Structures are given as structure tokens and as C-alpha cells.
Amino acid sequence: MSEFENKVVIVTGGAKGIGRGISLAFAREAAQVVCADIDEEEGEKICGEAQGLAGSILFRAGDVSKNSECEAVVETTVSEFGGVDVLCNNVGIQPLDAYLPAHEYPEEVWDRIMDVNLKSYFLMAKCCIPQMLKRGGGAIINTASVQGLQSMKGVSAYAASKGGILSLTRQLALEYATDNIRVLAVNPGAIQTPMMVDSVAFMSDDPDALKKMAENVPAKRLGTPEDIAEVVLFLASPRASYMTGEYVCVDGGYMAFGQWGEV
């Protein structure tokens, strides 16, 4: 029996990239997964991919930067599956036109990044925690980034949002430690997702840019969504029952190397 059999998991930004890897990993482990994303086409695809797995994936279209849509996602989850055991706050954006010096950053772009990357994490936690309390506990796993620890030029909003996720993770962990709700974060490094591939292509016309990026990772490869998903599964499982308020870097050694922002 899988430790996630009959467990109910919500994954935001769950249809593509890291979120897709997380959604499918939980479904393989017999969980009932609700994938929340704005991309309905990719949502239909991932539901199809989940056919035949031990668990299931239900797609729910929604912009979780808005409280009403977070409430709707949780209401759908409770209606379909009876509650919430695990929340994976994963959604994140870095628009291609938002690689700018801070003094040139449009306020509306800053607000949109913060709303999606940070505010949604608070809103989804706010909606899910009452359901977890009813079930006697749960786990919240937040996708932050190595950008929350070190940074680079041109990403002031993204970096601030990821640092905020780490701080929110610590605060919520303390808030609900006695309620058996654990709150943890994972910090991906260079993970080969559509967002990263698009960003590299936008910033460099070198056809070997991804290959060179991989060569600069101590592990000599880019990460995959599955690399992140495996760590998320562990953090959400009873095997990590004495962990809360912490983060785990999954970065092929980038943070140990200490110079990833220059490469």
C-alpha cells in the first residue's frame, strides 16, 4: 500500500513543468490529485496522462492569485474527495519582459509576480488549513527557489517572492506545529522546464546555452521536474514527520558551489 493511497493532494500550477512532475508523481503513488492551473489545454493533457495510474488527477482551471478562485479550488476538492491532506503551492511566473533593473520595473509587473508567486501561497494555505484541521493534520509543501537564498540581476520581484515563500514557510510551520500540520519548502535550482527553456532562449541567442548551463552545475546536468517531485513526495510523507519550517535545495550542488548567479 502506498503511503499516499486515498490521500487528497492539491497542486497549484500543476499542469506544466515542475507542477506537472509533482501531480503525476502523487498520482502514481495512488493519491487523488487536484491540479489547479490556468492552462486548460495542458490540464486536459495531464488528466489523460494519469489514466491507468494508481491514483487520479482532476483538473480545476483557476487563477490562484485570487481568493475567490482559491476558495473554488478547495470547494471542488472537498466536494469530490472529502477534504485536503497535502497542499503543494507550486505556481510561479517570471515573464520574459520582466528581466529588468529594479528602477525600471513596472509596478503592475511587480504586483502580478508577487500575487502569483507569493500571495497565492498564503491564500491557498488559508483555504486549505481549515480542512486539514478537520482531518487532524496535513502537509504544505511550497516550491520556492535557490533565488530565495542568492540572486542575480534583473529579477527583483521574482527573488523577493521566493524569499517571501521561505519566510512564510517558517511562520506557518510555527503557527500550526501543534496542529500536526507541517510546512516545508523545496528550492529548485536549474530545472529544465518550459519556463526555464523560454527564459534562456530569450536572454541568449547561443544555441548551446542550455548545454553550457548544465556544464556549470556541479552535478553536470540540469535537473528535471521528477527530481523535484521525488523530494516533494518525501517531505509530504510520514517519513518526514519530524520536519517542519525547513527548506531543501534540489540544485545539483549550485548552492554549495556558490556562484550560480554568475553562470
Q: CATH number, domain at 209? A: 3.40.50.720
At 130 the three-state DSSP class reads: helix
- The reply to whether 237 falls in a domain is yes
Q: Is residue 1 part of a domain?
A: no
What is the C-alpha end-to-end distance of the chain, expressed in Å?
44
**What is the model's pTM?**
0.95
The answer to whether 158 is a known catalytic residue is: yes
Q: CA quadruple 66, 33, 38, 176: dihedral positive or negative?
A: positive
What are the pLDDT digits (tens) for 70-129? 999 999 999 999 999 999 999 999 999 999 999 999 999 999 999 999 999 999 999 999
Q: Would you say residue 255 lies in a domain?
A: no
Residue 207: pLDDT band (50, 70, 90) is: confident
The domain containing residue 174 runs over which residues? 8-249
Residue pLDDT, tens place only, 33-43: 999 999 999 99
The answer to whether position 91 is within a domain reads yes
Catalytic-role residue among 121, 158, 176, 254: 158
Distance CA(180)–CA(178), nearest Å, equals 6
- How many structural domains is the chain composed of? 1
With respect to residue 257, please indicate whether it lies within any of the assigned structural domains: no
